Amino acid sequence: MVRRLQAIGLGLALVVAAFSTGLELLFYVVYLGLLVVGGAYLVTRTGLLDLEAGYALDRLHAHVGEQLRATYTLRNVGRWPKLWLEVHNPSTLPAPLPGRALSLGPYEERSWVAKVPLLRRGHYRVDALGIRTGDPFGFFEAAASVGRGASIVVYPRIEPLAGWRLPTATLEGTRGHRERTHQTTPLVTSVRPYLPGDAYNRIHWKSSARHQSLQVKEFDVEQAADAWLFVDLERRVQAGRGDDSTVEVGIRIAASIAFRALAENRAVGLTISGHRLTILPADRGPRQYRKIMELLAAAEGDGTTPFGELLLRTTSRVRRGMAVIVITPSPDPAWVRPLTALRQRGVSCRVIWLDSPAFPPADGEASTEVVGAQDASLARRPARAIAHALAEFDLPFVSVGPNANLEAVLSVRPARSGQRAAGVFQ
């Protein structure tokens, strides 16, 4: 805009000088300026004519650590070349999609792929494709938007939990074991020929028609408990920064456990105490997986409800035979007592305590000086209080610190009364 105003001012000055003095040289300069400005205007006006463009994203849902690929295609279907084109996709992604400047000859087509790493979980927006052109002098500019925007959901990172075992129960569950049962269960695993004594209601009529002989269904016994995750996102108990904060570590743990439980065909419920209390009823399957991941992708450590109050208000939804997984960094032992009532209802509990005193302060002002033995003992007092409260009620627990290998830590057998969690509480 400034350059355009300068050019207009210079042109007016030349016109006034040419007519005032009558010098032929000034008239030549004026005519040359008109030719240049008119040519720049025509180049800009025709820069986006006969141009076809589009882009495609390879995914709309991904996990942290994966890459987003965007495929761009530009095609000039006219006889005039496109001297300068700038292509860019505005977005709210942490690492923006790279733009490109290029030129196209007559009837030429260009395609390329842009890759961007997905660094943080969350809900992001990729706007419509923007194409801009102009003249070499910068006097004029033309722009256009192509296509529609898209929403990208980046799920938390999934950690492999090969050694993690969720609590089992004999009352409810949906994970089939390779053990035949005479009782009817939801898990039909195979069919076999009819034998004398088989119940008629176990005959599979479609298979019988196909084999031209009676076929009966066989069932597997189910002994695994469904799971309900409680994630504490109260603001005042969070610690750490970035990926090593208690918020991010807790969400990664919840996402990894939910992924494993759903892979075992368990029903999984989720309760999050963020800015708003969110309760996702227990369900199973890919649809539930997507709901859980989208909820965890948007979760923030901005809750105001104490975790103990949250458990008192929401644990009534947990039915007999389920397994409750508690993930919290709260150093206040008051949340331990509500878990004891669950055990009396036939609900197994497991606690994953995020060792908040071990995480650096969120404001980044942690001192690197060596503290004395008394100060270190005071710093570890909340950890010992939590360990004592959990051991008092014989609740199994695992403690997770900063920079922890989640697969290794969570695979450790949970500590109980009279034990310490793999030397974490000292």
pLDDT digits (tens, 9 = 90+) for 337-370: 888 888 778 788 889 989 888 887 765 444 444 4
* β-bridge mates for residue 57, sequence order: 70
**Quick one: tokens of 270?**
């989720």
Question: 51-155: which CATH architecture?
Answer: Sandwich (2.60)
User: Quick one: pLDDT at residue 39?
Assistant: 79
Separation of alpha carbons 139 and 6, rounded Å? 10
CB atoms inside a 10 Å sphere around CB 214? 16
Give the whole-number percent of the chain exceeding pLDDT 90: 27
DSSP state of 139: S
CA dihedral 347, 316, 249, 356 (to 10 degrees): -90
DSSP state of 203: B
Most confident of 15-19, 41-45, 299-303: 299-303
Separation of alpha carbons 38 and 36, rounded Å? 6
For strands 348-354 and 215-222, give the pairing.
unpaired
**pLDDT higher than threshold 50 for residue 174:** no
* Annotation: CATH topology of 227-362+372-410: Rossmann fold (3.40.50)
For strands 122-126 and 150-155, give the pairing.
antiparallel
* β-bridge mates for residue 279, sequence order: 271
Split at pLDDT 50, 70, 90, the class of 220 is: low
Most confident of 246-250, 329-333, 411-415: 246-250
Alpha helices in 299-372 (DSSP H): 307-314, 337-344
**pLDDT higher than threshold 90 for residue 75:** yes
Separation of alpha carbons 395 and 153, rounded Å? 36
Q: Is 36:44 a contact under the CB 8 Å cutoff?
A: no
Going from N- to C-terminal start, the domains of the chain cover 51-155, 179-222, 227-362+372-410
Q: Which residue has the higher pLDDT, 424 or 17?
A: 17
* β-bridge mates for residue 130, sequence order: 88, 145
- Pick from 140, 144, 146, 145: which is nearest to 45 by CA? 140
User: Quick one: pLDDT at residue 156?
Assistant: 94
* β-bridge mates for residue 192, sequence order: 216
Split at pLDDT 50, 70, 90, the class of 418 is: very low
- Stated pTM of the model: 0.74
Separation of alpha carbons 127 and 44, rounded Å? 24
Q: What is the mean pLDDT of the chain?
A: 80
**Quick one: tokens of 405?**
């290998």
